[in-house]
Amino acid sequence: MKKIAIAAGLASLAGIAAAQSKVEVFGVIDTNITRLTGTGTSSKLGLATGGANISRLGFRGTEDLGGNLKAGFWLEAGLDSDTGAGKAAGSTGLGFNRRSTVSLLGDLGELRLGRDDSASFLSTLIFDPFLTNGVGGTGAFSILGVPAAGTSTGGAPIQISNALSYLLPASLGGFYGQAQLAFGEHTKAEPNKNQGDYRGLRLGYRQGAFNGALAMGRFYGDSPDNNVSASNLGLSYDLGVVKPMLIWAREKRGALKVTVLQLGATAPLGPGELRASLGHYNTAGSDADWNKVALGYGYNFSKRTQVYGTLAYLKNKSGANRAIGVQGLSATGAAMGGKSSGMELGIRHFF
């Protein structure tokens, strides 16, 4: 009798659990105290978000369709955990600005439709010790600035809407990669028949301690002069005591060309990880260059919870006025040829 009762209980629980297991609710809350210092009186102290990992809330799941075929979906909304605001385009409401995709996955790879990270962005995250985040994060992608929707007067887009992606399967002996085609959804009129389109390609190889990837992408602006090209190379080698990594990245729009070379490293230290990076940003044919150095440590209370701290320093040459910026604390400016520094201390919690 008791066994039957237990079995019945199990069955009922299984029903509930099965119903729930269609969707995994997941996310990150990462909030910190940041101090940004520029020139003169413009320093700022406040709460910021996403110092170690971007704060987010998501919903995802996969379904086994049989015959090694799967369907999957992924909805992921960025948020400013210091204020609770969402990051939908042009709104303080929540939107799935980070990812909104449906996929078919099989032996031949994955077909993915919707909004996603652009193929040419990913390496600059993976090979940066700071994952592009916080005061230490690299500026190796979208160096020219993030473009407004439907325009390309900025840099290359980090996420891209209306994308059709093909991703290689995991079974290629270490090779990985993706091809991406995003529709600008403009009518095919001059001056730029491809306005708003994006085309990207990424190819990598990971074997043992080695990881390396090449990527390139092109975002089509409102005129051919406003097309943005991005290309980058990422390399890392895990020596155990330290994992050196490198990013070379270039972005071009018309006559403007900026090239980045960043050396980085992570190293296990106690129940945590040391992080360091040194980047040189060069603007072709001009004095608009700058250098950035960052040093940080993340202490893991558990796999899910980390306390971290980072220091970063940026120095402009005479033709540049770049400043260290973070999400959730509006950037303080730097003077032409000036310097900028940042420090942060925060908590990152996965759920």
**Position among 54, 77, 105, 276 found at the interface with its own copies (CB under 8 A):** 77
Our CB check for its own copies shows the closer of 204 and 309 to be: 309
Q: Does 225 bind its own copies (CB under 8 A)?
A: no
Report the residue from 37, 97, 120, 133 that binds its own copies according to the rule CB under 8 A: 97
Rounded to a whole number of angstroms, the minimum distance from the CB of residue 80 to its own copies is 8
Nearest distance in Å: CB 249, its own copies: 26
- Is residue 45 at the binding interface for its own copies, with CB under 8 A as the rule? yes
Q: Using the rule CB under 8 A, which residue among 277, 332, 340, 341 binds its own copies?
A: 332
41, 171, 208, 285: which one binds its own copies (CB under 8 A): 41
> CA 287 to CA 40: how far, in whole Å?
23
30 near its own copies, rule: CB under 8 A: yes
Question: Cβ of residue 341: shortest distance to its own copies, in angstroms?
Answer: 15
- Residue 20 lies near its own copies (rule: CB under 8 A): yes
Of the candidates 314, 289, 311, 309, the residue with the CA atom closest to the CA atom of residue 298: 309
CA gyration radius for the chain?
22
Residue in 39, 129, 133, 162 binding its own copies, rule: CB under 8 A: 162
Least CB distance from residue 87 to its own copies, whole Å?
9
> Distances from the Cα of 157 to the Cαs of 140, 198, 227, in angstroms?
12, 9, 12
CB of 109 to its own copies, least distance (A): 15
- The beta-strand segments (E) located in the chain are 24-37, 44-49, 56-66, 69-80, 85-86, 99-106, 109-117, 159-167, 175-182, 198-207, 210-219, 228-237, 243-253, 256-269, 272-283, 290-300, 305-316, 339-350
Give the dihedral sign, CA 263/336/324/230.
negative
- From candidates 68, 69, 210, 271, binder to its own copies by CB under 8 A: 69
Taking CB under 8 A as the rule, does residue 50 contact its own copies? no
DSSP symbols for 214-241: EEEEEE--SSGGG-EEEEEEEEEE--SS
Window 112 to 131, contacts with its own copies (CB under 8 A): 113-115
Q: Write down the least CB distance from residue 137 to its own copies, Å.
A: 19
Contact map string, positions 284 to 303, toward its own copies, x by CB under 8 A: -----------------xx-
Residue 317 dihedral angles phi and psi, to the nearest 5°: -85, 180
CA distance to 111, 135, 145, 147, 204, per residue, from 195 (Å): 24, 33, 18, 13, 29
- Does 305 participate in binding its own copies (rule CB under 8 A)? yes
Q: Which is nearer to its own copies, 57 or 260 (CB)?
A: 57
Which residue's CB is nearer to its own copies, number 158 or number 249? 158
Which string of DSSP letters, residue by residue, matches 96-127? --SEEEEEEEETTEEEEEEEEE-TTTHHHHHT
Question: Does residue 330 touch its own copies according to CB under 8 A?
Answer: yes
